[in-house]
Amino acid sequence: MSESKAWYAPKGLCFTCTGCGNCCRGPETGFVFLSAAEITTLANRLGISEEEFGRSYLRQVLGGRISLIEKANLDCVFWTEGKGCEVYEDRPTQCRTFPFWPEVIESAEIWKEEAVYCPGMGKGKRYAPPAIEALAGGEGGTPDGPDGP
């Protein structure tokens, strides 16, 4: 989507994370896809081998893609109530770039639907269209996220 034709141009979109964790928790199942580099980073953070990390924290989903597992209540395996994300500093790109995912910024209607579950959407820091596009592409700066440990 080119910046000049994006529905949110020219003003951009506002977002500041409230730390609610709604993006990290159930009630529905979800997927946090990881790259090989992210697996290495998280395994190193936890002080375990990549093989052990895979056995303990990963699952194959959607045609063989790799995702973090979920707890029985469908929360992310690294989310702890009252504490937040246990791997916040090394969280995957998918987590770093929420809510600026291509499927969320596709239209104003979808953005508003997602904002029902995310109290930080439409509030706080304003992101210009180029920053939004970079985040949607999995690059660029990172929006605020839930407080880490």
**Do 37 and 79 fall within a single domain?**
yes
What is the pLDDT at residue 92? Answer: 96
What is the pLDDT at residue 5? Answer: 85
Residue 90 belongs to a domain: no
**Whole-number Cα distances in Å, 39 to 17, 49, 116:** 25, 10, 31
Q: State yes or no: pLDDT of 61 exceeds 50.
A: yes
Residue 148 belongs to a domain: no
Per-residue pLDDT of 89-144, as tens digits, reads 999 999 999 999 999 999 999 999 999 999 999 999 999 999 999 999 987 556 65
Q: State yes or no: pLDDT of 7 exceeds 80.
A: yes
Q: State yes or no: pLDDT of 1 exceeds 70.
A: no
Residue 89 belongs to a domain: no
**Whole-number Cα distances in Å, 148 to 84, 89, 121, 128:** 6, 7, 20, 26
Which range of residues forms the domain containing residue 71?
Answer: 25-83
> Which residue type sits at 50?
E
What is the pLDDT at residue 9? Answer: 94
**Do 19 and 58 fall within a single domain?**
no
What is the pLDDT at residue 68? Answer: 98
Residue 92 belongs to a domain: no
Q: How many domains, in total, are found in the chain?
A: 2
Per-residue pLDDT of 72-94, as tens digits, reads 999 999 999 999 999 999 999 99
**Do 29 and 16 fall within a single domain?**
no
**Do 35 and 66 fall within a single domain?**
yes
What is the pLDDT at residue 141? Answer: 55
Tell me how far the alpha carbon of residue 54 is from its chain's centroid. Answer: 20
**Do 29 and 79 fall within a single domain?**
yes
**Do 72 and 116 fall within a single domain?**
no
Q: Could you say which of 41, 59, 83 is where a domain stops?
A: 83
**Do 18 and 33 fall within a single domain?**
no
Residue 88 belongs to a domain: no
Per-residue pLDDT of 22-59, as tens digits, reads 999 988 899 999 999 999 999 999 999 999 999 999 99
**Do 18 and 29 fall within a single domain?**
no
Residue 48 belongs to a domain: yes
**Do 11 and 42 fall within a single domain?**
no
